[in-house]
Chains A and B, each alone.
Chain A
Amino acid sequence: MKFKYIFIQIVSIGLLLSCGKDNYDEPQATLTGRVVHEGKPIGVRGSNNSVRLQLWQNGFALKTPIDVYVAQDGSYTAKLFDGDYQLITVSGNGPWAHSTDTLQVQVKGNTTVDINVRPYYTLENIQYQLNGTKLQATFQLNKIDETRNLDNVNLLINDTKFVDLGNFEKRSSIDGNQSGAITIELDIANELNTKNTLFARVAVKMNGITEAVYDPNIFRVK
C-alpha cells in the first residue's frame, strides 16, 4: 500500500519535472504605438482582426510575418523578443495609402513607436450632440489623397464599445463624394428606450478599400 503511494509520487514528480532545454522564456518586451497622421491617431475598425500591420525580422532562413492588429483607437500592441524588426503597412488593408517605406524598429524592453501613414481622409473637430432623441455629429472632413472617392459618410451607434461598420445597431449615411464641414443626424428614440448603453462613432468609407476611417474616440450616448 505504502509502496504504491511512493511509486505514484515518484511517477508524478517525474511527469511534472521536465528538462530545461525545451523551455524558453516567454517574450518579455512589449512594442506599443499608434498609427498616426501628423501626430494624430487614426481610428479604424477594431473588431474582427480587420486592420493589421506586419512585423518582419531578418536573419532567419524562412520568413513568416507577425501580424499586429490595430485597435479601434489606432493603437497596437505586440509581445516580442528583444531584437531588430521591420514594421510595414499591408497593401490595401487599412484606410491609408500603402507605402513601401519600412520602419526599422529596435525593440528593447518596452518600446513605443508610432507609425506614420497617409490616410485617404482625415476627420477633425468631431462633436457629438444629443438633442432629444436626435443624435447629431459635426466634423471637418479633409481629403488627403486625391485618388479615392467616398462611398459614404456614416454615423453609427451600437450597444457595446465596439462601434464599426460590421457592428452597429443603427446608422445613418450620406452617400456620395464630399468634404469640408459635415453634419449628420440619426434618430435613436427606439434605441434610447431599449438599450442600457449606447456608443456612437463616425465612419468614412471610401471606394475600393474594405476598411473605413473612424473617429479614434467613441462617444457615450447613454
Chain B
Amino acid sequence: MKKSSIILALSTALTFSACDSFLDQESQNILTEQQVYSDDNMVLSVLANYYGRISWGQHLGDVASMAILDEAGFSSGGPNNRQNYEDNLWRVYDYGLIRDLNMFINGIKTSTLSAASKDNYEGEARFIRAWVYFNMARTLGGVPLIGDQVFDYSSGTLAADLQHPRSTEKQVYDYIISECTEISEKLKPNKTTNSSRANKWTALSLKARAALYAASIAKYNYKTPDVITPGGEVGIPSTEANTYYNTALETANEVINNGPYLLYQKNADKGRNFYEAVSLKGSEEVIWARDYKYPGQTHMFTNNTIASSVRGDIDANIVTPILNLVESFEYKNNRNGDLKLTANGDYIYYDNPSDIFADKDPRLYGTVIYSGADFAGSTIVYQAGVRYFEDGQWKVKTAAPGANEAPYGLVTSVDGPTTSNDQFVNKTGFNLRKFVEENRDASTRGRGSDMWFVRFRLAELYLISAEASLELNKAQTEVASYINAIRNRAGIQPLTQVTLNDIIQERRVELAFEDHRYWDLKRWRIAHEVWDGQNSNPKAVHYVLFPYKVYAPGTDKHNKWVFEKRVASHTMNPRYFRYQNYYNFIDQNWLNSNPKLVRNPYQ
C-alpha cells in the first residue's frame, strides 16, 4: 500500500514537472515573421509568391484569353459558339492577396535589414498592391479601399467591422496614382533581371496608365449614361478628365525622358526588329514583364499556338490570328490595310504567296506568321486547296492537310487552313509570332516555353503621351512626335495630323495580344459599338484568309496564288459586348457576406 502510493506520488511529480526548455524550444519547421523579414532570401521568396499571383486578363498562361476578342480565334477541333462576354469575365476581387500584401507591408517595417532595402521591399509590395487594385478597378469599378489594415477575427469581433463599402471609382484610381507616386520615391531606378521586378519606372508606368484610364472614363462615360451608379462606384465625373490627362502626360514623359529604356532598334530588318522588341528576353524596351524560366516556370503558349509544320509535339493551332487583325495593319504608304484580293471581278493572281503582304507595316511580320513568312528557319506556306479550270469553269479542290494528288501536286498544306473540325489544324490562314518561342523544344508538352509576357514597355508610354496630349489639345506637332516615334521605329510613314481614331488604330496593332485591346475599347466606351453582335458588322465578325494555288497549265495563271476572304468557320457568332459588360457583376456571395456593397449597373 505504502509502496504503491510512493510510486503514484513519484509518477505524478514526474508528469507535472518538465524540463523547462521543452515547451519553449524553437520550432524547426515554422519560421517566425521576424526571421522571414530579416533575411533577404526569405523576403525574396515571399515576394516571388506575390509576383506569381497577379496575372489576369490576357496572359500567356491562358491561351483562350487571346481568342475571345478580335485578334485571334479558336482553331483546333469544333467551332466555338461563344455568344457574349460573361458577367464575370476576367473579374478580380482578390482581398486574400491584399491581406497577404498588407501583412508583408506591416511586417517588413519590423525587419532588421538596412533601411534602403526595407524601403525597396516595401515599395515592391505596395506596387503589387496598387497593381491588384488597378486590376480590380478596371473590371469592377470602385472596390473597398482598406489601406494597410490586416483584419483578424477573434471571438467577439463584429462582422460589421469587417465589412467595408465600395469606394468610388475615382477614389480607387486616385489611390493607385498617389500610391505609385510615393512608391516611385522608394523604389530603386535600376533595371532588374528580365524586367521581372518592379522598380521606380514600373511604378511610374502604372501611374501613367491608371491616370489615362481614369481620364478616358471621365471624358467618355457620357456615351454610356446608364453605366453609372448613384454613389459613383462606377463612373468618373467629366470635370476630372483634364487633371488625369495631365498626370498621364507628365508621368509618361518622365519615363520616356529620364528612364533607362529605349525603343528597341537593334535589328535592321524592321519586321524582325519588332518581334525582338517584344519577344526577345532582355529587350531594352521592356519595363515590366512576367518572366518565366526553364526548368520550373514554363507555360504552354508556344505549344498551343505553334504552326503545324514547325511544331515539336502533337499540339498546334489551338489559337490562331484572324484576318481582322492582319487587315488592321497599314501598308507602309497607305493607311488602308485591307488586302487586295480582287480586281475587275476576278481574283488578283500573285506570283508568290507572300506577295499580297508586300509593303505591309513590318510589325505584321513581328506579330503574326502569314503565308510565305519564315519561322525558326523554315518558310510557312498556307494553302487551303487548288483552284483549277475544268469544263469552262473554275473549281476548287481541298484535301486533308499535307495530301498530294496528281496532277495538282500538293492540294492542302500541312499548315492548313481548312474548315474541318480536326484537332490541331489551322482554320484561319495565320499563326501567332508574338510571344511564340522559336526554340523547337519550347513547343513540347514536356518542356514548355519560358517566353516572358510583357506588361509595360516604352512604346505604350509613347502612346499614352500621344493620347493624353491629343485630349489636352496640345499642338499637333507634339502629338505627332510621340506617335511618330513608334511609327518610325516600326518602319511606316509618319503622321502629320493625329485623331483619336489614329491612336485607337495604333494601339490595336502595336499592342496586340498584350492585354490592352479589351480594356482600351472599354475605357473609350466604344466596345458596345465595335462588338455589337451583328452579323452585318465586319468589326464584330471574325474573318479568315484562304490561299489557293492555281492549277491551269498553259495559261499565265498557272502556279499563281489567289486569296479568298471568308467568314471564320470556327467562330460561330459575332462578338457581342453588352452595356452590362462595361463592369463585371458583383457576385451574390460577396453581397451575402458584405451587405454594404452596392451592385453594378444592369445587375
Write the residues of chain A forming the contact surface with B, with a CB cutoff of 8 angstroms. 48, 62-65, 90-93, 165-166, 168, 171, 208-210
Cα–Cα distance between A63 and B593 once the two chains are bound (Å): 10
Choice from B533, B536, B603 contacting A171 with Cβ under 8 Å = B536
Would A210 and B588 count as touching, CB distance under 8 A?
A: no
| Nearest A residue to B83, CB-CB | A48
Judge whether B560 is part of the interface by a CB distance below 8 angstroms. no
Q: How many inter-chain contacts with C-beta < 8 Å in the A-B complex?
A: 42
The interface residues of chain A, by DSSP majority, are classed as loop
Cα–Cα distance between A65 and B576 once the two chains are bound (Å): 25
Cα–Cα distance between A165 and B588 once the two chains are bound (Å): 30
Q: Which interface class (under 10, 10 to 19, 20 to 34, 35 or more) fits B?
A: 20 to 34
> Given contacts A62-B592, A91-B601, are A168 and B535 in contact (CB under 8 A)?
yes
> Given contacts A63-B592, A208-B579, are A91 and B83 in contact (CB under 8 A)?
no
Would A92 and B84 count as touching, CB distance under 8 A?
A: no
> Given contacts A92-B580, A166-B576, A209-B226, are A63 and B588 in contact (CB under 8 A)?
yes
- Give the distance to chain A from B62, nearest Cβ to Cβ, in Å: 25
Choice from A63, A90, A168 contacting B602 with Cβ under 8 Å = A90
New contact pairs (20) apart from A62-B589, A91-B601, A210-B528, CB-CB < 8 Å:
A48-B84, A64-B588, A65-B588, A90-B602, A91-B599, A91-B603, A92-B226, A92-B579, A92-B601, A92-B602, A165-B533, A165-B534, A166-B534, A166-B576, A168-B535, A208-B225, A208-B226, A209-B226, A209-B579, A210-B602
Cα–Cα distance between A209 and B601 once the two chains are bound (Å): 11
User: Inside 8 A of A93's CB, which chain B residues have their CB?
Assistant: 580, 602
- Give the distance to chain B from A171, nearest Cβ to Cβ, in Å: 7
Q: Which of A63, A64, A210 has most B Cβ within 10 Å?
A: A210
Would B588 and A90 count as touching, CB distance under 8 A?
A: no
User: Inside 8 A of A65's CB, which chain B residues have their CB?
Assistant: 588
Cα–Cα distance between A133 and B83 once the two chains are bound (Å): 32
- Give the distance to chain A from B537, nearest Cβ to Cβ, in Å: 11
Would A91 and B602 count as touching, CB distance under 8 A?
A: yes
- Give the distance to chain A from B456, nearest Cβ to Cβ, in Å: 34
User: Inside 8 A of A166's CB, which chain B residues have their CB?
Assistant: 83, 533-534, 573, 576
| Nearest B residue to A61, CB-CB | B592
- Give the distance to chain B from A205, nearest Cβ to Cβ, in Å: 10
Judge whether B578 is part of the interface by a CB distance below 8 angstroms. yes
- Give the distance to chain A from B585, nearest Cβ to Cβ, in Å: 11
Cα–Cα distance between A90 and B579 once the two chains are bound (Å): 13
CB neighbors of A among B561-590 (8 A): 573, 576, 578-580, 588-589
CB neighbors of A among B78-123 (8 A): 83-84
- Give the distance to chain A from B531, nearest Cβ to Cβ, in Å: 12
CB neighbors of A among B102-154 (8 A): none
User: Inside 8 A of B589's CB, which chain A residues have their CB?
Assistant: 62
User: Inside 8 A of B578's CB, which chain A residues have their CB?
Assistant: 210
User: Inside 8 A of B334's CB, which chain A residues have their CB?
Assistant: none
Judge whether B224 is part of the interface by a CB distance below 8 angstroms. yes
User: Inside 8 A of A168's CB, which chain B residues have their CB?
Assistant: 535
Cα–Cα distance between A30 and B535 once the two chains are bound (Å): 36
- Give the distance to chain A from B180, nearest Cβ to Cβ, in Å: 33
Q: Which of B225, B573, B578, B591 has most A Cβ within 10 Å?
A: B578
Cα–Cα distance between A215 and B603 once the two chains are bound (Å): 25
- Give the distance to chain A from B603, nearest Cβ to Cβ, in Å: 7
A-B contact pairs, 7 of them (CB 8 A): A48-B84, A65-B588, A92-B226, A92-B579, A208-B579, A209-B226, A210-B578
User: Inside 8 A of B528's CB, which chain A residues have their CB?
Assistant: 210
Cα–Cα distance between A65 and B603 once the two chains are bound (Å): 11
> Given contacts A90-B603, A91-B602, are A210 and B592 in contact (CB under 8 A)?
no
Cα–Cα distance between A37 and B62 once the two chains are bound (Å): 46
User: Inside 8 A of B599's CB, which chain A residues have their CB?
Assistant: 91
| Nearest B residue to A207, CB-CB | B225
- Give the distance to chain B from A32, nearest Cβ to Cβ, in Å: 25
Cα–Cα distance between A62 and B579 once the two chains are bound (Å): 28
Binary A-proximity of B375-389 (CB < 8 A = 1, otherwise 0):
000000000000000
Would B83 and A210 count as touching, CB distance under 8 A?
A: no
Binary A-proximity of B518-529 (CB < 8 A = 1, otherwise 0):
000000000010
User: Inside 8 A of B84's CB, which chain A residues have their CB?
Assistant: 48
- Give the distance to chain B from A149, nearest Cβ to Cβ, in Å: 11
| A-B pairs, 3 with minimum CB distance | A92-B602, A210-B578, A208-B226
User: Inside 8 A of A165's CB, which chain B residues have their CB?
Assistant: 533-534
Binary A-proximity of B10-29 (CB < 8 A = 1, otherwise 0):
00000000000000000000
User: Inside 8 A of A90's CB, which chain B residues have their CB?
Assistant: 602-603
- Give the distance to chain B from A174, nearest Cβ to Cβ, in Å: 15
User: Inside 8 A of A63's CB, which chain B residues have their CB?
Assistant: 588, 591-592
- Give the distance to chain B from A92, nearest Cβ to Cβ, in Å: 4
- Give the distance to chain B from A61, nearest Cβ to Cβ, in Å: 8
